[in-house]
Structure 1
Amino acid sequence: MPNSHSQSDKRVVYQEFGNDNAAAFERPTPDLPPQQQNVRVQATRAGRKGKTVTVITGFQTKPETLTALVKQLKTQCGTGGTVKDNEIEIQGDHKQKILEILLKLGYKAKISGG
């Protein structure tokens, strides 16, 4: 087959800056102070084999900030938890306790769902 190009055959006609411009296409993560973040706290069982977890959503901050926050929440609730897709999951139903902690830290937190 004449003129067939493989996927690895990337011919650049014109390139002004460097070789890797992946950083230019990354979506920036806004790092807002807690007072400007509207976070939602809700307990859910969906897709977790009947186990209740408290999910905190709506964060607009860096992953490092979420990691530090999840560590603090896990310690104060005495349970496990994780960060998934910019959301915090804490094992068990700790809506009220987490809401109080987030409010003390300055977040505009609300309980959502029933």
Structure 2
Amino acid sequence: MKDKKRLPTDGGPIKWVSPFASLKQTELSPTSPARSVADQGVPELVVHKKNRGRVDIIRQTAHRGGKTVTVVTGFVGIGQAEKALLAKRMQKVCGSGGTVKEGRIEIQGDQRESVARILIEAGFRPVFAGG
């Protein structure tokens, strides 16, 4: 069994060493280069022409157990890989889950305004359709 290190309760001095004491001894220069966010390899969306077509943003609740889902449909001339990148960015900005199914992007929750803003930045013309 491992011996337990107990602190004395008799009122004597406590022998305690800070776990950060060894960090004070190392000489780190305050001018060491810090890693930026750009160095971490986060994929960025490629800026395309400003008019990439109309996409519909729909809020659905039917057949989803009462949960609200934002669905983006109507992509023309866009590949599955770029849809996946758009979906990933939407999930990150909205702070929710999502997926790409059957050529459309589904984001959990009512996130229509955030999704529209991302689509405008990507060069699409979002239209709020349906419910």
What TM bracket, shorter-length normalisation?
A: 0.5 to 0.7
> Which runs of no fewer than 5 residues in structure 1 stay unpaired?
1-31
Matches within 5 A, 1:69-84: 69-84=86-101
- Structure 1 distance, partners of 2:112, 2:67, is 15
Consecutive unaligned residues of structure 2, counting only runs of 5 or more, are 1-47
Aligned positions, number? 83
Sequence identity percentage: 39
Q: Distance in 2 between matches of 1:70 and 1:36?
A: 17
**Structure 2 residue 70 is the aligned partner of structure 1 residue 54:** yes
Q: Look up the SS of the partner of 2:66 in the other structure.
A: coil
Structure 1 residues 66 and 50, CA gap change in structure 2 (3 angstroms): same
Q: CA RMSD in A?
A: 1.6
TM-fit CA distance, 1:47 = 1.2
Structure 1 residues 44 and 83: CA distance shift in structure 2, 3 A: same
CA distance in 2 between counterparts of 1:42 and 1:95 reads 8
Q: Name the SS for the 1:36 alignment partner.
A: coil
The DSSP-based 3-state class of the residue aligned with 2:70 is strand
Name which of 38, 43, 68 aligns with 2:59. 43
Secondary structure of the residue that 1:35 maps to in structure 2? Answer: coil
SS at match of 2:51: helix
Structure 2 distance, partners of 1:75, 1:36, is 22
Deviations 1:37-65 (A, max 9, x none): 21000111111111100000001211001
Correspondence list, 1:94-113, <5 A: 94-113=111-130
Secondary structure of the equivalent of 2:123? coil
Deviation at 1:106, TM superposition (A): 1.1
* Residue 34 (structure 1) shift: 6.5
Offset of residue 93 of structure 1: 0.2
